[in-house]
Amino acid sequence: MPKYPIPGPRARSVQQGPQGQRARRAAPPPVGGRGWRILVLVLLIVTFGEVAAVQQATFRELPADGWRLVTDGVMGGVSRGTLTAEEIDGRRCLALRGRVSTENNGGFIQLALDLDDALRDATAYDGIRLDVIGNAESYNVHLRTADLWLPWQSYRASFTAPESWSSVFLPFDGFEPYKTGAELRLDRLRRIGIVAIGRDFDADVCIGSVALRHRAE
C-alpha cells in the first residue's frame, strides 16, 4: 500500500539577533500614548493641507486691476459715483460709492471689467464668487457677451452687500437675460459689471475679490 506521510508541525523560522536572541517586531504605539497623538496630528495636517489645496484650486481670481467706473451719464442720466482703492477692516478692496438717480431715464453706477482673451471662455466655470462688504443694499452683477449690442442688454443676478466681510456666490444658471432673447453663452463672455441700479439710493459697496468657480468634475 502506498504510504502517505503524516503531516507534522510546520517548521517556523526564527530570526536571531546579534546575540542569538529572537528578533521582535516593533509594537505600534499604544492608543492614547504620545506616539499615537503625534501620528494623528500628522494625519490631520496632511488631510487639511490637501483640502486647502483643493479649495484654492477651485476658484480663479479675476485681476484686481482694469476695473473702471461707468455711470448713466453715457445715456444722459445724472447719477454720480466714485471708484477708489481702499482698505476696510484690514482688507484691500475697490469701493463703489455714489448717488443713484432715476432722473432723465438714468439710474445706475457700475464697476466694470472688460475681460481679456484668457477669460472670455468661461465654460469651465459654474458661477461667480464675490468677497464683499457694503451698506446692506441690493446690487446686481451684470454679464455681457459678444451676442449683445445694445448698452442696456445684459444677463443679471442680484445680491445684498452685507455690513461685514462675506462671500457671495452667484451661479451662472441663475442669471436672467435682460431685454435680449439670446441665451447666455459662457464661451462668448466679454464684461463683468457690479452695478448699483434701478432706484434712487446711496450706493456703498466694496469688493475684495471676484473669482470664477471651476465646475465640479
- End-to-end CA, the chain: 70
The 8-class DSSP code of residue 168 comes to E
- Alpha-carbon distance 132 to 211, whole Å? 12
- Alpha-carbon distance 77 to 71, whole Å? 8
Q: Where are the alpha helices (DSSP H) in the chain?
A: 34-58
Lowest-confidence pick of 10-19, 100-109, 125-134, 159-168: 10-19
Give the per-residue pLDDT at 27: 57
Q: What pLDDT band is residue 188 in, cutting at 50, 70 and 90?
A: very high
Mean pLDDT, residues 160-170: 98
Break the chain into its structural domains and give their ranges. Answer: 24-61, 62-214
Mean pLDDT, residues 175-199: 98
Strand bridging mode 166-171 / 68-71: unpaired
* Superfamily of domain 62-214, CATH level 4: Galactose-binding lectin (2.60.120.430)
Mean pLDDT, residues 36-63: 59
Q: What pLDDT band is residue 75 in, cutting at 50, 70 and 90?
A: confident
Nearest partner of 148 among 190, 114, 105, judged by Cα: 190
Percent of the chain scored above 90 by pLDDT?
71
- Which stretches does DSSP call E strand in 89-174? 91-100, 108-114, 125-134, 138-145, 154-160, 166-171
Q: What pLDDT band is residue 217 in, cutting at 50, 70 and 90?
A: confident
Angle at 210 between CA 184 and CA 78, to 5 degrees: 75
Give the Cβ contact number of residue 186 at 10 Å. 18
pLDDT surpasses 70 at 111: yes
Mean pLDDT, residues 12-26: 48
